[in-house]
Structure 1
Amino acid sequence: MTSGQTDSPTAVRALRAPDSRPRQSFHAWGKMVDDACGPLHVYRTEPGEFRGAISAGTFGTVQLASIEAGPHSVERTERLARRAEFTPLHLTCVLDGEVRVSQGGRTAVVRAGSLFSYDGSHPFRMSMRWPIHMVSVKFDHRLVDLRARLEHPLWAATWCGTQGASVLLAGLLRTAAPHIADFDRTVADQLGSSLASLVTAVCAEKLGAAGAGPAAARRALLHRIKMFARARLNSSDLCPSMLARSHNISLRYLQLLFQEENTSPALWIRDQRLERCRDDLADPRTAHLTVANVAERWGLDSASHFSKLFRERYGLTPREWRRQSLLSRT
């Protein structure tokens, strides 16, 4: 139940249901949640006055939202999931209260201090029986090497928040929640990079299990390498040798891992960066950035080289793609 896309890379929205008669207040909350998260059914579970607030912003490649609300439930049905235009993954830390989350036949009850995840591209239901305060990271499936609408271990997954990378993520979310509106652009980008890295590390605990046999172990290692790289696409230091060093393997072995998917580490990194640039160029929220800014944003320092690569990959120059994409939205 995190906030939706914002108006600029570091924009922040603060939304609050008005303090008025209960029916009016909850109606306002339902509209806020629907506007922020895409199509959802929002249900009242307790009588009396209702109050709710969402503070949200975009930080680099992820979005962050702090949610405080009275008891209620939200549900995305199959029909609503098909209607939703933006269906990211959500990794949420419960600061106060309790959440019951159900998705894909799995159900978990999550209490203060713990984390849970769910997938906005698939039907889900969340119920809050008591007042809730939670802070959530919303991110693209590609960050953790997944695809929307396909089953995976992050459906209604939970973490205790006291072990492994979840300790660090929970602490960062708890600290950042009261200050979402206070970060300047530089700090926001740094926070986004830290969040993306911790999200990949936390998700790897569910997604990166080696399984049985050498083939499964290789797939798990490649999965971890891809998640690590996706969190660092905006760094010009990202390269095959850096990936090999960071995972204690030889460059030759890294090349063999990617060769099993008919690509190379360098080509895969380049294609991932071009995809992110293509998304930014088509996004009205980043229309204020020049083509060179977009390229630099994803670790491609040479604007002329970027334009050449982009045209070779997509058949249009970056400017032509941006013009065509933005015109199609009007």
Structure 2
Amino acid sequence: MRLGGEHARHDDGQFEHWRQAVSTAFVPLAVVSTAEDGEARFTGTLRTTALGGLQLSEVGGRAVDVRRTRTSIKRSDPGLVKVGLQLSGRGVIVQDDREAVLGPGDFAVYDTSKPYDLHFAGDFSMFVLMFPRELLRIASRELGTVSARRIRGSTGMGALVSPFLTNLHHSVVTGTMPTTPLVEDAVVDLLSAAVQAEAPADATAPGATLLLRVKSFVDAHLHDPALDTATVASHHHVSTRHLQKMFEADGHTVAGWIRHRRLEKCRRDLKDVRFRGESIGTICARYGLVNSSHFSRLFKDTYGVSPRAFREQELLSISV
């Protein structure tokens, strides 16, 4: 039951439907009501839509506990990160032996590949962004140091990002959300900056900082067909061996990361209505993949569908 762009409301006796909808819209979750007998009947809301590779959801309810268990992770681990912005009420996020108590305007990041708990004692609403972990521009090993840390919406980077997320939520509710890929990039950039600012000083070691610089360099030079491990290493004055070890520690190879980012950019443009007049060859060449036949094979191997079929499906879904 996916409620893409829809608004769902479930009254007393319908908690089970809301519970199933929440678990389906996100990742497998255990959701229980903690309301006491005699309290007002349960009312839950769920609204979800997409912005490129981001899933944007508004979820609300009353007196519930949500748990991501090791069992549910074994059932499905798509490698996603969630960012929860508290809209109303009070929420608690627990992960990695930390607890973030969120009031309206506060937000926190958490990793769906690890167990976590969410507690809402009363009425609440939360805006949740969910996206592939690799989009968050911090090293994978840093994520464990920042999960379930409260990022205040009133100070520091939080004071910049929280109003942005609030306005993004408003655009989801009103159906006025811009579809340009630049907005998706801006959201990820701001979230990455806010999360990195919360990382402990010893987590942002020189190696982690260098890895972030390298990834930014790769993204800025995807258009160059000659971009490879040696080019990246030379630009950053490190050996190819050292560069490979950095990426291996992050769970990737340099060549694999370059290929992944190129495919993701192509995938994004193929579903963008602004580029519907451009050929597939033009789009893949824009990101350094000059052999369109090779690109088509890579794309199908990665996403299970050809670029042409993917594009037709996406553009059809937009026009319906």
TM-score (norm 2): 0.72
1:174 counterpart letter in structure 2: T
How far has the Cα of 1:180 moved from its partner? 1.1
Report SS of the residue matched to 1:50. Answer: coil
Corresponding position of 1:255 = 237
Q: 1:52 to 1:257 in 2, by over 3 A?
A: farther
Corresponding position of 1:40 = 29
Q: Describe how 1:305-320 pairs up with structure 2 within 5 A.
A: 305=291, 307-308=293-294, 317-318=297-298
Distance 1:178 1:130 in 2: 23
Corresponding position of 1:31 = 20
| 1:118-139: CA deviation from partner (whole Å, max 9, x where unpaired) | 1111111101011112212222
Q: 1:130 to 1:236 in 2, by over 3 A?
A: farther
Instruction: Work out whether 1:272 is the aligned partner of 2:257.
Output: yes
Corresponding position of 2:165 = 173
1:28 counterpart letter in structure 2: H
Distance 1:142 1:26 in 2: 34
Q: Report if the CA contact (8 A) 1:58-1:64 is conserved.
A: yes
| 1:278-326: CA deviation from partner (whole Å, max 9, x where unpaired) | 569999x96x9999659838x8445534655x5xxxxx83365369x24
Distance 2:164 2:95 in 1: 26
How far has the Cα of 1:277 moved from its partner? 5.2
Q: Report if the CA contact (8 A) 1:61-1:196 is conserved.
A: no
Corresponding position of 2:283 = 296
Report SS of the residue matched to 1:172. Answer: helix
Q: Report if the CA contact (8 A) 2:214-2:236 is conserved.
A: no
1:296 counterpart letter in structure 2: I
Instruction: Work out whether 1:219 is the aligned partner of 2:207.
Output: yes
Which of 153, 156, 169 is equivalent to 2:148? Answer: 156
Corresponding position of 1:110 = 102
Report SS of the residue matched to 1:13. Answer: coil
Corresponding position of 1:193 = 185
Instruction: Work out whether 1:321 is the aligned partner of 2:301.
Output: yes
Report SS of the residue matched to 2:42. Answer: coil
Q: 1:293 to 1:43 in 2, by over 3 A?
A: farther
Distance 1:95 1:121 in 2: 25
Which of 189, 196, 201 is equivalent to 1:204? Answer: 196
Q: Report if the CA contact (8 A) 2:90-2:104 is conserved.
A: yes
Which of 64, 74, 82 is equivalent to 1:82? Answer: 74
Q: 1:184 to 1:236 in 2, by over 3 A?
A: farther
Aligned residues, how many?
287
Distance 1:48 1:234 in 2: 57
Distance 1:83 1:102 in 2: 21
Q: 1:192 to 1:42 in 2, by over 3 A?
A: same
Report SS of the residue matched to 1:201. Answer: helix
Q: Report if the CA contact (8 A) 2:262-2:288 is conserved.
A: no
Which of 95, 101, 122 is equivalent to 2:93? Answer: 101
Q: 1:196 to 1:319 in 2, by over 3 A?
A: closer
| 1:234-258: CA deviation from partner (whole Å, max 9, x where unpaired) | 9859x99xxxxxxxxxx96723287
How far has the Cα of 1:25 moved from its partner? 2.1
Q: Report if the CA contact (8 A) 1:282-1:322 is conserved.
A: no
Unpaired segments ≥5 residues, structure 2: 228-232, 248-252, 307-320
TM-score (norm 1): 0.70
Q: 1:74 to 1:161 in 2, by over 3 A?
A: same
Report SS of the residue matched to 1:93. Answer: strand
Distance 2:19 2:297 in 1: 42
Across the aligned residues of Structure 1 and Structure 2, the Cα RMSD in angstroms comes to: 4.2
User: How many percent of aligned residue pairs carry the same amino acid?
Assistant: 17
Q: Report if the CA contact (8 A) 1:92-1:116 is conserved.
A: yes
Report SS of the residue matched to 1:95. Answer: strand
Q: 1:53 to 1:273 in 2, by over 3 A?
A: farther
Unpaired segments ≥5 residues, structure 1: 7-11, 241-250, 311-315
Distance 1:52 1:307 in 2: 48
How far has the Cα of 1:218 moved from its partner? 2.0
| 1:73-103: CA deviation from partner (whole Å, max 9, x where unpaired) | 1111111111124241112211211111111
| 1:193-245: CA deviation from partner (whole Å, max 9, x where unpaired) | 2101101111211347356xxxx742132144256568x569859x99xxxxx
Q: 1:162 to 1:319 in 2, by over 3 A?
A: closer
| 1:146-189: CA deviation from partner (whole Å, max 9, x where unpaired) | 449x97113312211223322222111111212216246644x2
Q: 1:29 to 1:233 in 2, by over 3 A?
A: farther
